[in-house]
Amino acid sequence: MHIIGDSIFAKDSAGNPLSRIGTMFFRTPGLVTQKGVHAMQRMVWLDYVNSRLAAEGRPPLTPEEEEEEIAQSVDLIFTEDAILIRPDPDRMDLALRADEALREFASKRQIRFLNTHSIKVRSALCERGENWRMARHPISEDDMTALIERSRVSIDCLPVYYYNRATGTRFLTAGGYSEAVKLSDVDYRRQIKEIVNGLNQRNRLGHPEIDLFPSTTPIETKKALKALPLAELSDAELRRAVDKIATEWRASIPPELRDESTANYDWRNAMCQTITRQTNDTAADERELVSGIAAEFYRQIEWLPGARIDNGELIFDETYEEAARTQDPELLALCDSRAKALMFSLTRVFGAVDFINIGRIARSLSRKPNPSGHRGSIYIVQYRDTGAHKAKMMIIRFQKWGVAEHLDEGKDLMRAMLEADEYSDYILDRRLMCCQLGMDLPRRIGFGHLTEKYHGHNQYNGISVRTACFVRPYVRGTATDKIPPARYRNPAFALKFARLLGAAAAVDLIVGRRSTVTNEILFDHSYEIMLCGEDGLPSSIRVTDHAGSFVEYERELVDCVADYAEPMKSRKAFVTDYAAFATEYAESLAAKVAEVQASYRARRRAFDGLFADRPFDTNGSGAYRWARALARLDRTDPSALKARLMEAAGC
């Protein structure tokens, strides 16, 4: 490939890049990095090709051939340490050829794509198993909250803006304007003048000094504010004029963004995205990468190099080879060996798939992470069956106590294998117990093993061991603890939700689902997913995982039920009628307990004999816990549960 200009990362004596742009050509392979604009670089290339043809005694390019030279080119932008490809969404084939050719100059992780807002660009990369090249870096919920709080700034008046450090734009929210309303006439006029001037000005980077949040704000609202004749309006007229605009602005804001609080997941995610947006943005958010994914997954997935299938052949991302060759610590961390093993195993099982994207959940999505520090190993997989139009999703969770963990305890290999298998049976048995008692879990899950190298501190270091994992479909919906508070202001929504949540809480109470570390209930902490009907009202609540079930199997249900008042109390500030909400929840819980109790009494033999072939150990075997939980259920008075729950709720 002929290059006209300096090498891509060449710098001057001050350390600045010699060129910020480049153009790659494919009809006649070459690269131009001379300073200028892309149009000038294309002219330079045509002159070079024609001069080469003249030297060979051949006629110059025809107009049609010149058009083809230009058509088969790709724009590049260079930063200090990265190459950005600016693809034409309708010619992604050229962008992908440029991506391949640029590996001669840079590592794949240094080559990124612009225009990721285009579904054609995202789809082309997704189908190559390259979500990882578009995804934003994970960030914890606490860090997002801190980032938003730190970004709140003022100019000369109130701190009513959220500042994007990359673009220099300050974003005004409807809530920020509400703070300005409280000012005296003099200060109010100063504040509005500051906003109007900022909306009409551009900073040195070419971005607005001030803009309105969210990005869906109608352009008419901005125009109306920008056009305010401040000098012609009296104080009272100014307030009326701005209030009229603000009323229309608030009406245009989606309901899920009206509660301006970091406790509102939708608002927090949208604001975080707004204040971290880059000038040359190469990243897409989770909802762009995975259609319909829940808000709580925003910036919580660390996408990893994936794989594609070409002519029936499984092709892992080249980054795995680069990591193995260079032993670069950052690449080795990115190229998760477990993820690669999962893709290999899934391809063997599924057979005909087009691509696989895989990510690991960066941290617990629960508001109450396990204080022991154990994060678990949870992966999310996006794949598409050959011939299908849409990609599918699944969640893979690795068994907490496997062979490796038991070897780390100092046990011999045989004992470690036996105990790991027993624990797998125990997990699956508990799932059956929960289903038998009415928990709405995914209908089917997969169970399998991967082979991994064990790296520990005993004699078995370096051997291959089997690691168990559980596969379930991704449940599309909203986690009950992540529902925007504004939705509870609709009484119809709140009461139907309370009814469904109370019934789900009843089963959770019966199966004694608690943390093995703190003994706190796990209910209403990311495991329960709300689905809505066509009317927008809750239609069901499904439980994604039965983790923690049968931890509490000795205490009477009436002594445990007070803890289940927290889901009511945590929503007290959002519902319009707390007494009605609490009553609906408590009555639904009591009714569901009575229903399960009646089912048990009607088919006692079927329940009691379900685990007759399992070991019955009073130290806490699954069969023993099952028997104790059934006996406890049988002697429970549902009306006493309601009374205790209402008392705990303060009603």
Strands annotated E in 238-361: 301-310, 313-316, 353-361
How long a stretch of residues is the chain? 651
pLDDT, one tens digit per residue, over 163-219 is 999 899 999 999 999 999 999 999 999 999 999 999 999 998 899 999 999 999 999
Q: Specify whether 396 is located in the same domain as 425.
A: yes
In this structure, is residue 216 part of a structural domain?
yes
The C-alpha angle 385, 386, 389, rounded to 5 degrees, equals: 75
pLDDT, one tens digit per residue, over 389-401 is 899 999 999 998 9
CA–CA dist 148, 71 (Å, integer): 43
* Average pLDDT rounded to a whole number, residues 39-56: 95
Side by side, which strands form the sheet with 392-398? Answer: 313-316, 301-310, 353-361, 378-385, 392-398, 464-473, 446-453
- Collapse the DSSP code of 582 into the 3-class scheme (helix H, G, I; strand E, B; otherwise coil) and give the result: helix
Other beta carbons within 10 Å of 349? 11
CA–CA dist 438, 305 (Å, integer): 39
Residue 362 has a pLDDT of 66
Q: Specify whether 459 is located in the same domain as 498.
A: no
Q: Specify whether 99 is located in the same domain as 167.
A: no
User: Residues 6 or more apart from 595 whose CB is under 8 A from it?
Assistant: 438
- Collapse the DSSP code of 348 into the 3-class scheme (helix H, G, I; strand E, B; otherwise coil) and give the result: helix
CA–CA dist 147, 275 (Å, integer): 9
Ramachandran angles phi, psi of 12, nearest 5° = -85, -175
Residue 13 has a pLDDT of 84
The DSSP secondary-structure symbol of 455 reads -
Looking at 473, 497, 525, the residue that finishes a domain is 473
Residue 486 has a pLDDT of 86
* Average pLDDT rounded to a whole number, residues 241-247: 95
CA–CA dist 236, 182 (Å, integer): 14
Residue 291 has a pLDDT of 80
Q: Residue 511's domain is classified under what CATH number?
A: 1.10.1070
pLDDT, one tens digit per residue, over 447-485 is 999 999 998 888 999 999 999 999 999 998 999 998 988
Q: Specify whether 450 is located in the same domain as 482.
A: no
Q: Specify whether 173 is located in the same domain as 255.
A: yes
Q: Specify whether 563 is located in the same domain as 627.
A: yes
In this structure, is residue 132 part of a structural domain?
no
DSSP symbols for 129-169: T-GGGTBPPP--HHHHHHHHHHTEE-SSS---EEE-TTT--
Other beta carbons within 10 Å of 371? 10
pLDDT, one tens digit per residue, over 330-365 is 899 899 999 999 999 988 888 789 999 999 986 544
Looking at 80, 97, 115, the residue that finishes a domain is 115
Counted domains in the chain: 4
Q: Specify whether 267 is located in the same domain as 368.
A: no
Q: Specify whether 443 is located in the same domain as 489.
A: no
Looking at 473, 501, 517, the residue that finishes a domain is 473
In this structure, is residue 134 part of a structural domain?
no
CA–CA dist 492, 538 (Å, integer): 9
CA–CA dist 593, 609 (Å, integer): 21
Q: Which domain holds residue 174?
A: 141-276
Return the structure tokens found at 79: 């930063």
CA–CA dist 592, 171 (Å, integer): 48
CA–CA dist 62, 46 (Å, integer): 11
Task: With beta carbons less than 8 A apart as the criterion, state whether 582 and 571 touch.
Answer: no
Map tokens 């690449």 to a residue.
331
In this structure, is residue 187 part of a structural domain?
yes
The DSSP secondary-structure symbol of 573 reads T
Question: If residue 529 lies in a helix (H) or strand (E), which one and from where to where?
Answer: strand 528-532
Residue 399 has a pLDDT of 93
CA–CA dist 630, 5 (Å, integer): 79
Residue 457 has a pLDDT of 81
pLDDT band at 283 (very low <50, low <70, confident <90, very high): confident
Task: With beta carbons less than 8 A apart as the criterion, state whether 470 and 444 touch.
Answer: no
pLDDT, one tens digit per residue, over 70-104 is 999 999 999 888 999 999 999 999 999 999 999 99
* Average pLDDT rounded to a whole number, residues 572-577: 94
Residue 367 has a pLDDT of 39
pLDDT band at 311 (very low <50, low <70, confident <90, very high): confident
- Average pLDDT over the chain reads 92
pLDDT band at 288 (very low <50, low <70, confident <90, very high): confident
Return the structure tokens found at 282: 């190469």
Residue 617 has a pLDDT of 93
In this structure, is residue 321 part of a structural domain?
yes
Residue 373 has a pLDDT of 33
Helix then strand count (H, E) for the chain reads 23, 20
Return the structure tokens found at 486: 């504004």
Q: Specify whether 492 is located in the same domain as 635.
A: yes
Q: Is the pLDDT of residue 281 over 90?
A: no
pLDDT, one tens digit per residue, over 357-383 is 999 986 544 434 333 333 348 999 999
CA–CA dist 138, 135 (Å, integer): 9
User: Residues 6 or more apart from 235 whose CB is under 8 A from it?
Assistant: 185, 188, 189
Residue 176 has a pLDDT of 93
Q: Which of 237, 252, 244 shows the shortest CA–CA distance to 173?
A: 252
H helices of 12-91, in order, are: 38-55, 63-71
In this structure, is residue 123 part of a structural domain?
no
Residue 370 has a pLDDT of 37
Task: With beta carbons less than 8 A apart as the criterion, state whether 284 and 135 touch.
Answer: yes
CA–CA dist 401, 547 (Å, integer): 13
Residue 363 has a pLDDT of 59
Side by side, which strands form the sheet with 528-532? Answer: 478-479, 528-532, 538-543
Q: Which of 330, 327, 448 shows the shortest CA–CA distance to 379?
A: 448
pLDDT, one tens digit per residue, over 119-174 is 999 999 999 999 999 988 888 888 999 999 999 999 999 999 999 998 999 999 99
Q: Specify whether 209 is located in the same domain as 253.
A: yes
In this structure, is residue 290 part of a structural domain?
no
As a whole number of Å, the CA-based R_g of the chain is 30
* Average pLDDT rounded to a whole number, residues 47-64: 95
Dihedral in degrees, nearest 10, Cα atoms 632, 635, 637, 642: 0
In this structure, is residue 244 part of a structural domain?
yes
Q: Specify whether 497 is located in the same domain as 631.
A: yes
* Average pLDDT rounded to a whole number, residues 477-503: 94
Residue 60's alpha-carbon distances to 47, 50, 401, 495, 497, in angstroms, are 9, 5, 71, 77, 74
Q: Is the pLDDT of residue 106 over 60?
A: yes
Return the structure tokens found at 581: 């909400």
Return the structure tokens found at 490: 């609709």
CA–CA dist 96, 102 (Å, integer): 10
- Dihedral of alpha carbons 234, 236, 237, 239, sign: positive
640: left (phi over 0), alpha (psi -120 to 50) or beta: alpha
* Average pLDDT rounded to a whole number, residues 211-234: 94
- Dihedral of alpha carbons 277, 280, 283, 288, sign: positive
CA–CA dist 460, 290 (Å, integer): 41
Question: If residue 628 lies in a helix (H) or strand (E), which one and from where to where?
Answer: helix 622-634
* Average pLDDT rounded to a whole number, residues 23-44: 94
Residue 47 has a pLDDT of 96
Q: Specify whether 111 is located in the same domain as 154.
A: no
- Dihedral of alpha carbons 65, 66, 68, 73, sign: positive
pLDDT, one tens digit per residue, over 605-647 is 999 999 999 999 999 999 999 999 999 999 999 999 999 999 9
